[in-house]
Amino acid sequence: ANKKLLILPGDGIGPEVMGEVRRIIGWFERERGLGFDIEEDLVGGCAIDAYGVPLADKTLDLAMGADAVLLGAVGGPKWEPLPFEIRPERGLLKLRKEMQLYANLRPAIVFDELADASTLKHEVVAGLDILIIRELTGDLYFGTPRGVETLPDGTRRGVNTMVYTSPEVRRVARIAFDLARKRGSKVCSVDKANVVETTEMWREEVIKLHGEGYEDIQLSHMYVDNAAMQLVRNPKQFDVIVTGNIFGDILSDEAAMLTGSLGMLPSASLGDPDESGRRRALYEPVHGSAPDITGQGVANPLATVLSFAMMLRYSFDMDAEAEMVEQAVRNVLKSGLRTGDIMQPGMAQVSTTVMGEAIIRE
């Protein structure tokens, strides 16, 4: 049966970069006979304009019925004056929540051709290929009690609570172990088990799960402060990193800067498989809607193209096709084509569509 794909281009450069993915999908359909049933809808600011809400119920229904969702970006200055509850970002948050996406995958890959774009030494980052898996639905961001109160003497007291349950730890650790098998078979679990009991339990549960059929994976543990240092000192020591929501938020942004190019960073968010074994999944570039360059045709489509490759690999088990897309990206970079954001001396600056055409040619 054809794979059901929901495409949500969103706002700003979202539709521009998604257009290139549409053309790549068209190529796979024509040249490789792949069949996708594609629906397209609005999310974010454009959905507010058309439907009055950043994520309409009918759009959510399409997402819940799809094999995978591919999203561009949401937001922009036009909608910033709106109250927080109806801002474009709420559409994305609601989508993640309703789809119960608890594992956020953020690869940090440095293409050798772009290693100089990093602020780190070439030899530290060249060839880097790590995957950070951040738990997305628990931790300080959702735990209760929470809030700020004013005590009788006028002192203000802020409270947030780090909460995880063992099933929450196990399900995200399982994704880490499963994906590590598709990569370098190494998982580093990051915690602060020396001072934070919640993460002590995290570590124990990861170790337990490792003993239940994942003995082929090389498992290590690291305190988050050390992990932050090691990511800068020697990031290539890692393969898969798995960690909680707040540590993952910080470490994944740190890892993004190892690559130095926002326009190149894909991501995926995964949930549980349903009765038919289909895992809920959302794929999107890490970057936002880039209002400063919207409409100029200069946006880098590669983060979205690489998100599409992740979709092929993780939702559809089309590893060969995913590899084709990633190899095409490497070849295009090797041939010297660059969008403005990754421009280097001596290279040819090209538009969004020329970059897309070059990918298809490769």
Residue 119: exposed, middle, or buried by beta-carbon count in 10 A (0-12, 13-18, 19+)?
exposed
Shortest reach from residue 208's CB to Mg ion, in Å: 29
Are 190 and 251 in contact, with CB atoms under 8 Å apart?
Answer: yes
User: Is 89 a residue that touches Mg ion (CB under 5 A)?
Assistant: no
Question: In this structure, what are the phi and psi dihedrals at residue 7, rounded to the nearest 5 degrees?
Answer: -110, 125
User: Is 262 a residue that touches ligand NAI (CB under 6 A)?
Assistant: yes
User: Is 354 a residue that touches ligand NAI (CB under 6 A)?
Assistant: no
| Nearer Cβ to Mg ion (140/347) | 140
Q: Which does 341 bind (CB under 5 to 8 A by kind): ligand NAI, Mg ion, none?
A: ligand NAI
Per-residue binder mask for ligand NAI (CB under 6 A), 44-83, x = binder: -----------------------------xxxx-------
Tell me: is residue 245 an annotated ligand-binding position.
Answer: no
Q: Which amino acid is at 168?
A: E
How many Å apart are CA 335 and CA 267, to the nearest integer? 25
Catalytic residue among 225, 274, 317, 319: 225
Query: Which of 253, 317, 319, 323 is in the footprint of Mg ion by CB under 5 A?
Result: 253
User: Is 290 a residue that touches ligand NAI (CB under 6 A)?
Assistant: yes
* β-strands 68-73, 186-191 pairing: unpaired
User: Is 254 a residue that touches Mg ion (CB under 5 A)?
Assistant: no
Query: Which of 89, 200, 249, 272 is in the footprint of Mg ion by CB under 5 A?
Result: 249
Query: Which of 228, 291, 347, 362 is in the footprint of ligand NAI by CB under 6 A?
Result: 291
Q: Which does 287 bind (CB under 5 to 8 A by kind): Mg ion, ligand NAI, none?
A: ligand NAI
| Nearer Cβ to Mg ion (201/257) | 257
Q: Of 251, 257, 256, 259, whose CA–CA distance to 230 is shortest?
A: 251
Tell me: is residue 79 an annotated ligand-binding position.
Answer: yes
- Judge whether 253 counts as a catalytic residue: yes
Radius of gyration of the chain (CA): 21
Tell me: is residue 81 an annotated ligand-binding position.
Answer: yes
Q: Which amino acid is at 165?
A: T
- Judge whether 192 counts as a catalytic residue: yes
Are 179 and 236 in contact, with CB atoms under 8 Å apart?
Answer: no
Are 74 and 107 in contact, with CB atoms under 8 Å apart?
Answer: no
Quickly list DSSP for 146-194. Answer: -EEEE-TTS-EEEE------HHHHHHHHHHHHHHHHTTTSEEEEEE-TT
Q: Which amino acid is at 34?
A: L
Annotated catalytic residues are: 141, 192, 225, 249, 253
Site residues (vs ligand NAI, CB under 6 A): 13, 17, 73-76, 89, 92, 262-263, 284, 287-293, 299-300, 303, 339, 341
Site residues (vs Mg ion, CB under 5 A): 249, 253
